[in-house]
Structure 1
């Protein structure tokens, strides 16, 4: 592979695919923070142009390859590290599609390497845009795949890779939030559209908080940041001060915090605590999986925490104005990136399950009370 010179190239265009909805990291839109410095200028420019960014050499031994995916996020950044003694390591693998595979393999070729050179892949979390190509990478190279055990437990549970069971579980979950069965069935989709669930790769290595990854020449320490998923990991590179953030901290949006991803009882509380934990450091640069690289981690985590506190206040106001409403009903009273009646059926699920995450935190704080089954209705707590 070539080292020491910046290599650029453009991956293929965006595709539209049907997908398992729970694997999409959609989130609430926040305004760009002026106090966060954009370091990924080419990525930011491409984002503004609604295009894929170039392949970039970020250090003599580090590259980013954009792998296209469905939906508004358009791509995931796969980070490639050159290893002492030869070979490559990956941080995430990208969305499982022929277009994604072509982008990844051509990207590796453009830096003078190939997929057969991959020795191992660190997966920040279980979602399909991060773990999707892991099976193909492992088959082509013999590389190991590593993930936090909390996420492995979700994808390796009984029926976890059965499209029919997947759909049944999601429908029942939405009914439990107040959707009618007809609404839930329409939003979740059909088993035949979920075949990629069957191809989900089960990692062969587990990596937990504080462990250093087996990538020679790098000191990538795992940082457990539950919230977006129960086993989400960031990786702090102790040699360079780089912080590979996955979906935990993004420069423009808040990642989707959902009650359905992994069954954590209070995922928003987990997320806010994880933000506070990583916000105590100020790395040299933050390398997220989406959008663009930046500096100003503490500023950004503070902004994300403030965003969710504001959101909790908005939800309290909605409950005050609409007592006895379900999570499904309350989602329609909140502010989203587009009017609620214009939301795509397959995208409403993110909003409703994130509303449920906020309801659970308010309930755990003693601010609201839920009654009834299977779909609780919510009122302000009597104090």
Structure 2
């Protein structure tokens, strides 16, 4: 299928627990399209220098704003002069989320989540270091809009907005071959992180559920994800992913009986040792599940000394 679509998978190593991201180089009649770029680091630099040698890049598509997908885009844009395509939501967020002006917003939220000051400071330092792997920020010339199409290689893909993992995440669907480029929306072996972030949606887990249902309505025979190997039965995989979240939702609700903070919920949902890097995702995921329960009307959120307390309703 890769050969038919003119797609070459470019796997970029990552210095995280999730140790790789798949980017794609797609050959067309008039040039090449890049889909995602990896981080701005020496490994990505070396790989792209080799893969792009002698190639005319006509566009760069960014599926969502996370650093492993966008970090090297600014460099490649300068090198190739290719226009960058991205959703408007993520293009705007990308201009500020790694900047110093975003830190007070994170501090505000982490205080209400009862995150200890020492942990907050460690996460802030981690975010500040992120700047090194995402700059320069690319200039987005064209927005990817839900329901529109885009030419990639010699095929025309439907643009499908699938908020959840990121508010502006888009999948790309080729109806002739029934292939879905699922990016991080549906992954074969792990569940994507669905988290509340200070700049994003207030109920991201509900958005994710809606986006999964949206994908289930498509006629898909082959899925190419950004992490892990391609797979075929997307419908069963979607059911598995949502079953995981349903179990976590009920675990979240059960833990609210005596009132609980977000940070304490992290220990319930993730009962093992977490690194500082892991904690920033665990906190966001805990909030996402707690807010899902609250929007269902099954708990209330009060504030005590500036800290949110979630209490289940009977």
Does the alignment reach a TM-score above 0.5?
Answer: yes
Tell me what 2:215 maps to.
278
Deviation at 1:261, TM superposition (A): 6.1
Q: Distance in 2 between matches of 1:235 and 1:259?
A: 24
Tell me what 1:246 maps to.
183
Tell me what 2:77 maps to.
138
**Helix, strand or coil: the match of 1:67?**
strand
Cα pair 2:40 2:135 within 8 Å, conserved:
no
Tell me what 1:119 maps to.
58
TM (norm. structure 1) is 0.77
Deviation at 1:332, TM superposition (A): 0.6
Q: Distance in 2 between matches of 1:245 and 1:279?
A: 12
| 1:133-169 deviation line (CA, Å, top 9, x unaligned) | 111111111111111111112123xx4452x334343
| Alignment counterpart, residue 91 of structure 1, candidates 26, 30, 35 | 35
**Correspondence 1:158-307 to 2 at 5 A:** 159-162=96-99, 164-189=100-125, 193-196=129-132, 197-215=134-152, 217-260=154-197, 262-307=199-244
Distance 1:301 1:192, change over 3 A: closer
Cα pair 1:369 1:379 within 8 Å, conserved:
yes
Q: What residue ranges of structure 1 are gaps of 5+ in the alignment?
A: 1-38, 40-56
Cα pair 2:72 2:135 within 8 Å, conserved:
no
Deviation at 1:70, TM superposition (A): 1.8
Deviation at 1:171, TM superposition (A): 2.9
Deviation at 1:253, TM superposition (A): 1.0
Q: Distance in 1 between matches of 2:289 and 2:111?
A: 18
Deviation at 1:198, TM superposition (A): 4.7
**Helix, strand or coil: the match of 1:59?**
helix
Q: Distance in 2 between matches of 1:239 and 1:173?
A: 45
Cα pair 1:92 1:122 within 8 Å, conserved:
yes
Deviation at 1:217, TM superposition (A): 1.9
Tell me what 1:324 maps to.
259
Cα pair 1:161 1:200 within 8 Å, conserved:
no
| 1:80-128 deviation line (CA, Å, top 9, x unaligned) | 11112x210111122211211211232344xxx53xx111011110111
Q: Are 2:98 and 1:154 equivalent residues in the alignment?
A: no
Q: Distance in 1 between matches of 2:301 and 2:45?
A: 46
Q: How many residues align?
A: 312
Cα pair 1:229 1:262 within 8 Å, conserved:
no
Cα pair 2:38 2:44 within 8 Å, conserved:
yes
Deviation at 1:375, TM superposition (A): 2.3
Q: Distance in 2 between matches of 1:293 and 1:185?
A: 39
Q: Distance in 2 between matches of 1:71 and 1:58?
A: 30
Distance 1:252 1:60, change over 3 A: closer
Distance 1:187 1:216, change over 3 A: closer
Tell me what 1:24 maps to.
none
Cα pair 2:65 2:91 within 8 Å, conserved:
yes
Deviation at 1:367, TM superposition (A): 0.8
| Alignment counterpart, residue 310 of structure 1, candidates 247, 256, 278 | 247
Cα pair 1:188 1:346 within 8 Å, conserved:
no
Cα pair 2:97 2:199 within 8 Å, conserved:
no
Q: What residue ranges of structure 2 are gaps of 5+ in the alignment?
A: none
| Alignment counterpart, residue 70 of structure 1, candidates 5, 12, 15 | 15
Q: Distance in 2 between matches of 1:71 and 1:132?
A: 14
Tell me what 1:375 maps to.
307
**Helix, strand or coil: the match of 1:100?**
helix
Distance 1:325 1:229, change over 3 A: same
**Helix, strand or coil: the match of 2:255?**
helix
Deviation at 1:361, TM superposition (A): 0.7
TM (norm. structure 2) is 0.93
Cα pair 1:67 1:104 within 8 Å, conserved:
no
Q: Distance in 2 between matches of 1:75 and 1:202?
A: 25
Q: Distance in 1 between matches of 2:238 and 2:131?
A: 36
- RMSD, matched Cα: 2.0
